[in-house]
A and B are shown apart, each in its own frame.
Chain A
Amino acid sequence: MAFPGAMIQFADSFSGGRSDPLRSAGEAENVSARLPRVLVVDDERLLADTTAAILRRSGFHAKTAYDGFSALEMTANFHPDYLLTDIMMPGMNGVELAIAITKMYPSAKILLFSGQAGIADILEQSRAQGYEFPLLAKPVHPLKLVEGIRNLGNR
């Protein structure tokens, strides 16, 4: 099918040059240094990019990764205050990523984001290991998403 390919092309154009509409706000380091940091992880690139763009407009310093391993690598230079991650991803799933990040940065707050039934097993496994993360169901209105992340900070 042509759609996944087409979608990635659009996402790439957004993450391209200076005129990238999804990257335009809040990227300057001097500003972002004081802002809460969010790492957005989703293998659906368009969703990761647009979500990050919305978070930037809402006063967060947001970065994106498209799979669990690159998200982990990214945390070496970008210590997230918040992790917003999809669950079903190839390679490392969102719960495995969340557990790894919690171990490295115990203060990081986690929000899982999933559009799929059939994740019960994965959640069960994390619960068995003593981890329980809040979960938001896709699709969700952007304002609800921002509110969800802000609420994590108030806990």
Chain B
Amino acid sequence: MTQPEVSAGPSGPPNALTRATNNFLAAIVASSDDAIISKDLNGIICSWNEGARRIFGYESEEIIGQSILRLIPPDLQHEEDFILGRIRAGERVDHFETTRMRKDGERFPISVTVSPIKDDTGKVVGASKIARDISERRHEEESLYRLAAIVDSADDAIISKDLNGIIQTWNKGAQRLFGYEPEEIIGQSILRLIPEDLRHEEDEILRKLRASEKIEHHETTRVGKNGDLREVSITISPILNRNGQVIGASKIARDVSDRKKVEQLAIEVEKIATTGRMAAAIAHEINNPLASVLNLIYLSRQEGVSREEIQAFLATAETELERVSHIARQTLGYYRDTGAPAEAYLHDLIENVLCVYRNKMLAHGIELEATFNDLRRISVRSGEIVQVFSNVISNAIDAMPQGGKLCISTAQTVITGRESLRVIVSDTGHGIRREHVSRVFEPFFTTKGNLGTGIGLWVARQLVVRHGGQISISSSTEPGDSGTLVTIDLPFGRQEGEAIQAEAPESGKEN
């Protein structure tokens, strides 16, 4: 850069042009936001513009003729020697950032440019000083640095992208979560992070962003550099410019893989607990008749038993074995469940559960009233649905230790436009206290002390939601009218529709 030399005025004898130029320069100096000050080589202030008054607080009358040192904090006055040294040598000091003092003693950051003023002969006679108050800029810079430090030290991935989905910024958390260095991913499409089968999510996200909507805690799956899938919870907010226009989006992604793993583990544990409960009931139902059959065969083989007696023993043994087979068919079948949804009558699944608990209900004097009106099959993972009803029905039985009535009904209904089956399981048990009702779906909440795992209903809800359904509970502890009512809605064939959607493009490509 060439350094234009500033002199006291245009050279040559005054004429109309030079007078106009002088007026022009004076107008610029007067209207400048920056402080423009001139001083002689002894540091005595010779001129003082409006900007200087605003920034330093001195009126021109009180400061002209004073030393420039009035503006410099005592501990920085050595700077003036350095500046004057440079000026005497005819050099300029450019954008020197330092601290100066206002009239009221307040210190503030400033950027100063000092240039020598030469007379017609080229001799340095003074200096012009242009000073800009940079406290505002400093403040902004500091908050930027602070924000940058916060963004970088966050555990979460924080990413910004423009409205075309091109990644603009990438913090350390993003680097840790997805494995990409900033250099390799900035400028790339956000789609690199989205698994192929979830790319449609991005259209929906962009649509919401353009409408200035925020997306909060959306749980989904993203893919890292090495192809690993990550369970994440993402929050996306639009970035607006000064005029309120959406220019991009900030995206905060939190790795919830660990939490998901713990949840999955809890579901597995509950599956084992349910299996254990059912196995205990099944064992009772099977071992008793088997013991009777052993006894009957033993008796048949004894001496002195008539042919008629043997006939009676064996016929009884046969009946007992049929009882065992019936229970085995009804209950053990579900352990073979492969987890794939299949068409089934819901009342069959409920009957299977009732079969297991029938003896317990008899023992506790519980009357059963079942009304099944589900005339259509429903597409479900039967193992999971058996687990849901096993949990709900065994809760109902546990609530009626002194006997009562268990009512189960199924009927077709329409929930938010989808054809569904509604199952209502109600008991006349002791009920759930008002303050507990809202918590029954929380994991590890139990009213059964050591006997409950506290995750039965929580898992039931997970499994119902997984089927696209919903479960709700209401209860009364009113003496004489107590009881609990559980409502479960399951849509018909949601799984079917999904499977078709997911498979159709695949088969299309292959053909």
Contact = CB atoms under 8 A, between A and B. Distances in A.
Contacts of A10: 316, 319
A54 B319 contact: no
A141 B298 contact: yes
Closest A-B pairs by Cβ, 7 of them: A115-B287, A50-B295, A139-B291, A118-B280, A90-B363, A21-B309, A139-B290
B284 A115 contact: yes
Interface string B272-283: 000011011001
Contact of A142 (B276, B289, B294, B313): B294
A13 B315 CA distance: 13
A8 to B, nearest CB: 11
B283 A116 contact: yes
A7 B302 CA distance: 22
Given A7-B319, A138-B290, 4 more contacts: A4-B358, A44-B288, A115-B290, A116-B280
What's the dominant secondary structure at chain B's contact region? Answer: helix
A54 B309 contact: no
Nearest to A46: B292
Interface stretch (B103-111, B135-143, B320-328): B320-328
Interface string A75-89: 000000000000011
A145 to B, nearest CB: 9
Interface string B304-342: 011001001100100110110010000000000000000
A57 interface: yes
A47 B305 CA distance: 19
B210 interface: no
Nearest to B288: A44
Contacts of A117: 276, 279-280, 283
Contacts of B359: 4
B316 A1 contact: no
Interface size class of A (residues with CB under 8 A): 20 to 34
A69 B138 CA distance: 90
Contacts of A4: 358-359, 362
B149 interface: no
Contact of A54 (B289, B299, B316, B365): B299
A96 interface: no
Contacts, number: 92
26 contacts: A1-B355, A3-B319, A3-B323, A3-B326, A4-B358, A7-B320, A10-B319, A21-B306, A21-B309, A21-B312, A21-B313, A44-B291, A44-B292, A47-B295, A51-B291, A51-B295, A54-B295, A54-B298, A57-B299, A115-B290, A116-B284, A117-B276, A117-B279, A139-B287, A139-B293, A140-B291
B295 A142 contact: yes
B276 to A, nearest CB: 8
Interface in A47-61: 47, 50-51, 53-54, 57
A143 B299 CA distance: 11
Interface string A111-155: 000011110000000000000000001111111000000000000
Interface in A63-112: 88-90
B320 to A, nearest CB: 7
Contacts of A6: 319
A146 B309 CA distance: 22
A152 B268 CA distance: 43
A53 B316 CA distance: 15
Nearest to A91: B363
Interface residues of B, number: 38
Contact of B287 (A43, A50, A57, A138): A138
A50 B317 CA distance: 11
A116 B287 contact: yes
Nearest to B277: A118
Nearest to B355: A1
B287 A3 contact: no
Nearest to B312: A21
Contacts of B279: 117
A54 to B, nearest CB: 6
A23 to B, nearest CB: 12
B364 interface: yes
Contacts of A46: 292, 316, 320
Interface in A5-58: 6-7, 10, 13-14, 21-22, 43-44, 46-47, 50-51, 53-54, 57
B296 interface: yes
A137 B288 CA distance: 10
Nearest to B291: A139
A77 to B, nearest CB: 26
B361 to A, nearest CB: 10
A118 B287 CA distance: 14
Contacts of B355: 1
B370 to A, nearest CB: 12
B299 A47 contact: no
A115 B319 contact: no
Nearest to A86: B288
B305 to A, nearest CB: 7
A102 to B, nearest CB: 24
Contacts of B277: 118
A143 to B, nearest CB: 8
Q: Which of B276, B288, B306, B365 has the most CB atoms of chain A within a 10 A radius of its CB?
A: B288
Interface string B6-21: 0000000000000000
Given A21-B309, A90-B365, A139 B294 contact: yes
A1 B326 contact: yes
